[in-house]
Chain A
Amino acid sequence: MSGTHAMDESTLRERMALAVADSRLRSSLHDATSTLADRKREAYGQIENPERLRTAARWAKSQILSRLPEVLDRLATNLEMAGATVHWATDDAEARRVVTGIAAQHGVRKVVKSKSMLSEEIGLNAALEQTGIEVTETDLGEWIIQIAGEAPSHIIVPAVHKDRIQVRDALQTVADVKLSDAPEELAAFARATLRRRFLEADMGISGVNFGVAETGTLVLVTNEGNGRMSTTVPPVHVALLGMERVVESWDQLDIMLALLTRAATGQAITTYVSAITGPRRRESHGPDEVHVVVVDNGRTEILGTEFTEMLACVRCGACLNACPVYAVTGGHAYGWVYPGPMGAVLTPLLARSEAAGEIPNASSLCGACWEACPVGIPLQDMLLSLRRRHAENSSNAERLGWAAWAHVWAHPASYRASLRASSIGSKLIDPGRIPGLPRRWAEGREVPDVAPKSFRRMWKERGQ
């Protein structure tokens, strides 16, 4: 594959219709998103004033972003002092080149990966596989979908769209023994199989949840332990760091961590929180080399615009679990790497594709995402803004249509006439068949039922 992870070629409406028609998917999604949202609410109960903490996190992130060059410079200096090598990648192609270069330099044949959405964004697995390297995803959910040849549909629970039977069917294709659909048995199979891969791997690749500038430390948050394995067992560790995923101090890290794990899974803390400061130095274990790849890939273009705060996103997935649209469509309908409200903002800003412009329409602008966001990103304001931007580039026919509607409804006589016409029309008309209306716009839309008598008319008649 060349270029950034390619945008799905179907239209948003086609993907949404497909997802909504899948009742098994809808029930999996409903259970998962409501459970995660409930757990989050409970975990926030441990914090005296969650709203104040969220405001503090938003403030901290805004300060970091406004000083981002200094923060990154300090992080890099401290990383190098700790013995790590820092690489800078302006785009996806450069990031892939850096990683495949490190692999080639060490004669790497086998790579284990812990979960990294950034690696999905830059299409890293395909690039490594092209050079003959075997890549194994080691997060259980990521491994399942890697085997199934799919993309993650949730940033925290990648295989949320699959039930246990579908998971069993996927894992069965790589198993010698017959598997049951009991989650613990499937997990035990994954443990045994992936343990061998960890021990054989020449290189481990991970994402980074937070880079802490003041000490040059990479903080990784996982539950399964695959993050620890990938960064401890292989002799070389490559960490992919989105350039905005940084904090200046451990004070800031404390509040971001407290919010991240509670917002993501409702845990007060995840099973493992690793703080990695360079390769091993006179220590018995750990990688001999740590490489950090700082990736831009379109993020600088967001900086300094009205969408700057999107760079505060901690990738917790809380907005997905709160979103009424995500709950019925799931992640694949969004067509790129990042789903849900955060994805609907990031996709048009990062995915270099025409089709990305329509993704912000996959929202109801209800603001549940903003309420759910642990760092208070005003997602619905950004969605509205992106929709406006997309509409300005829309077809003349669509704009003319809306202008005509505005004119008719702005004048009482034509407004009343339009109501009478539509009370008859709504029974007869399928918008997909109105000549002159762009099919792209009309398909999938329904005309609402209009009452035979308008409220004005009924009111008048009562008075008589």
Chain B
Amino acid sequence: MTTRELFLARVTRRLEDGIPDNPLRPLLDVPSDPIDYTMDLTNLPGVFRTAAEAAGAEVIDTDEAALGAVLLGIIERIGSGATVALSDEMVCNSLAERLEDEGVRPAPVLEPAPLSGVSLGVTGATAGVALTGSIIIDSSVPGARVVSLLPETHLVVLRRSDIVPTPGSFLRRLGSWQDALPSNLVLITGPSRSADIELQLTIGVHGPGRLVVALI
């Protein structure tokens, strides 16, 4: 027998006589249906904005044509010496061209160490979640996993049409992805935070200290 078979056989033996009930507090059969929330979720971009801002993200309403100007605005705010890295996907590639027109050369997205010193990371998003103001990053997009993590600021471009109502709207679909699941999917809600010292909110502990969502 393999260690797995031995391990599982031991667990099976323990369950042979079933699990005793707690007569004081009987179990009730309630299925894992989608969750009903109290919020009105009809205007998805509006709900998204409110939730994302409450989590500490900045949300910019814009469109694809104006994205370059939004990006340059953020770089200007960071100030001189700002460095930029972009994930390798359509929306970012056109932004990279725009940057080169302006004389800004994006940093190469290879090793984590040099990327760690970059001030701005730019990625797209697979989806957004209105209820929580989350954006979702997929590791099958080259560079996205580290560009969304290591730089000080993360600019993410999210299409309004990719916003789903609740975390469940996205998560409950993953069961059918199976082989198509990337090695890493991450729901990101606001900048990195900690409350480990006197429960006081502190921003920017390990992940980006600033998260900007450009809605197109």
* Cβ of B105 under 8 Å from chain A: no
Query: Does B186 contact A273, Cβ atoms closer than 8 Å?
Result: yes
Contact of A286 among B88, B184, B187 (CB under 8 A): B184
**Residues B204 and A187 in contact, CB atoms below 8 Å apart:** yes
Q: Which of B7, B22, B195 is in CB contact (< 8 Å) with A157?
A: B195
Q: Is B196 in contact with A269, judged by CB distance below 8 angstroms?
A: no
**Contact string against B for A residues 60-80, beta-carbon threshold 8 Å, 1 for contact and 0 otherwise:** 101001101100110010000
Task: Check A140/B30 contact, CB under 8 A, given A66-B19, A183-B200.
Answer: no
Residues of B contacting A280 in the complex (Cβ-Cβ under 8 angstroms): 139, 183-184
| B contacts with A: majority SS | loop
**A interface residue count range (under 10 / 10 to 19 / 20 to 34 / 35 or more):** 35 or more
B34 CB-CB contact with A under 8 Å: yes
Task: Report whether A139 and B27 are in contact in the complex, using a CB–CB cutoff of 8 Å.
Answer: no
Quick check: B171 and A254 within 8 Å, CB to CB?
yes
With the chains together, A55 CA to B149 CA distance in Å? Answer: 36
Inter-subunit contact B143/A45 (CB<8 Å): no
Which B131-148 residues have a C-beta within 8 angstroms of A?
Answer: 131-132, 134, 139-140, 142-143, 145-146
Tell me if A232 and B149 are in contact (CB < 8 A). Answer: yes
Query: Is residue B31 within 8 Å, beta carbon to beta carbon, of the partner chain?
Result: yes
- Interface residues in A217-259 (C-beta closer than 8 Å to B): 217, 223-226, 228-229, 231-233, 243, 249-255, 257-258
Chain B residues positioned under 8 Å from A146 (CB to CB) = none
Nearest chain A CB to B59's CB is how many angstroms away?
Answer: 16
**Residue among B51, B171, B204 facing the most chain A CB atoms (10 A cut-off):** B171
Q: Which residue of B lies closest to A157 (CB)?
A: B196
CB distance from A192 to the nearest CB of B (A): 11
Q: Does B199 contact A (CB under 8 A)?
A: yes
A190 to B197, CA, bound (A): 12
Contact A285 B139 (CB under 8 A): yes
Tell me which residues across on chain A come within 8 A of B81, comparing CB atoms.
none
Bound complex: CA A309 to CA B36 (Å): 26
Most buried by B among A188, A268, A274: A268
Chain A residues whose C-beta falls within 8 Å of the C-beta of B12 in the assembled complex: 69
A283 B30 Cβ-Cβ under 8 A: no
Q: Which one of A14-22, A27-35, A444-452 is at the interface?
A: A27-35
A73 CA to B182 CA in the complex, in Å? 22
Shortest CB–CB separation between residue A260 and chain B, in angstroms? 12
In the complex the two chains form, what is the Cα distance from A56 to B176 in whole Å?
Answer: 22
Question: For the complex, what is the distance from the CA of A195 to the CA of B4, rounded to whole Å?
Answer: 37
B93 neighbours in A (Cβ, 8 Å): none
> What's the minimum C-beta distance from B94 to chain A, rounded to whole angstroms?
20
Instruction: Give the CA-CA distance A268 to B197 in the complex, in Å.
Output: 21
B42 at interface by CB-CB < 8 Å: no
Cβ of B10 within 8 Å of any chain A Cβ, yes or no, is yes
A144 at interface (Cβ–Cβ under 8 A)?
A: yes
Bound complex: CA A445 to CA B146 (Å): 58
Asked if B11 is at the interface (CB within 8 A of a chain A CB), the reply is yes
Give the chain B neighbours of A212 by CB distance below 8 A.
174
Query: B14 near A304 (CB under 8 angstroms)?
Result: yes
B198 surroundings in chain A (CB, below 8 A): 28, 31-32, 163-164, 183
A 289-313 binary contact with B (CB < 8 Å = 1; else 0): 0100010100011011110110000
Tell me the complex Cα distance, A319–B201, Å. Answer: 22
The reply to whether B15 and A68 form a contact with Cβ atoms under 8 Å apart is yes
Nearest B residue to A57 via CB reads B32
Is there an interface contact between A250 and B174, defined as CB atoms closer than 8 Å?
yes
| Cα of A289 to Cα of B209 in the assembled complex, Å | 29
How distant is A292 from chain B, measured CB to nearest CB, in Å? Answer: 12
Given contacts A55-B28, A254-B172, contact A191 B35 (CB under 8 A): no
* Interface flag for B55 (CB, 8 Å): yes
Q: A52 in the interface, Cβ–Cβ < 8 Å?
A: yes
- Given the complex of chains A and B, what is the CA–CA distance between A217 and B184 in angstroms? 9
B145 and A69 contacting across the interface, CB-CB below 8 Å: no
Whether the pair B37, A271 counts as a contact (CB closer than 8 A) is no
List A contacts of B116 (CB < 8 A). Answer: 195, 199
* Cβ B188 vs Cβ A300 within 8 A: no
Chain A 4-45 interface 0/1 with B at a Cβ cutoff of 8 Å (1 = within): 000000000000000000000000100110011000000001
Whether, in the assembled complex, A272 has its beta carbon less than 8 Å from a beta carbon of chain B, the answer is yes
Contact across chains for B38 and A48 when beta carbons are under 8 A apart: yes
Task: Look across to chain A and name the residue whose beta carbon is closest to the beta carbon of B34.
Answer: A254
Quick one: which of B190-212 are within 8 Å of A by CB? Answer: 190-200, 202-208
Kindly supply a per-residue 1/0 record for chain A positions 161-197, scoring 1 wherever the CB is within 8 Å of any chain B CB and 0 otherwise.
Answer: 0111001000000000000000110111011001100
Pick from A66, A269, A305, A308: contact of B134, CB under 8 Å: A269
Asked if A279 and B183 sit within 8 Å, CB to CB, the answer is yes
Interface string of B39-69 (1 = CB under 8 A from A): 1000000000001000100000000000000
What residues of A have a CB within 8 angstroms of the CB of B25 in the complex?
376, 378, 381
- Would B174 and A215 count as touching, CB distance under 8 A? yes
Q: Are A283 and B145 in contact (CB under 8 A)?
A: yes
The residues of B that contact A253 with a CB separation of less than 8 Å are: 171
Q: How far is the CB of B84 from chain A (nearest CB, A)?
A: 17
Answer yes or no: A331 CB below 8 A from chain B CBs: no
Name the B residues within 8 Å of A140 (CB-CB): 194, 196-197, 205
**CB neighbours of B196 from chain A (8 A):** 139-141, 144, 157-159
Flag whether A58 is at the interface (Cβ < 8 A).
yes
Residue of A nearest to B208 (CB): A225
Any chain B CB within 8 A of the CB of A284? yes
- CB < 8 Å: which of B6, B8, B173, B200 contacts A73? B8
Instruction: List which B152-180 residues lie within 8 A (CB) of chain A.
Output: 167-168, 171-175, 177-178
Judged by a CB distance under 8 angstroms, whether B103 is at the interface is: no
Q: Which residue on chain B has the smallest CB distance to residue A76?
A: B4
22 contacts between A and B (CB under 8 A): A28-B198, A56-B31, A59-B31, A69-B15, A140-B196, A141-B194, A187-B204, A195-B206, A215-B175, A217-B174, A223-B195, A224-B193, A233-B146, A254-B35, A254-B167, A257-B167, A274-B186, A277-B181, A280-B139, A286-B183, A300-B14, A381-B22
- List the 3 closest pairs (A to B, CB-CB), nearest first: A225-B207, A141-B196, A48-B36
Which B residues contact A (CB, under 8 angstroms)?
Answer: 3-4, 6-12, 14-20, 22, 24-25, 27-39, 51, 55, 88, 109, 112-113, 116, 129, 131-132, 134, 139-140, 142-143, 145-146, 149, 167-168, 171-175, 177-178, 181-200, 202-208
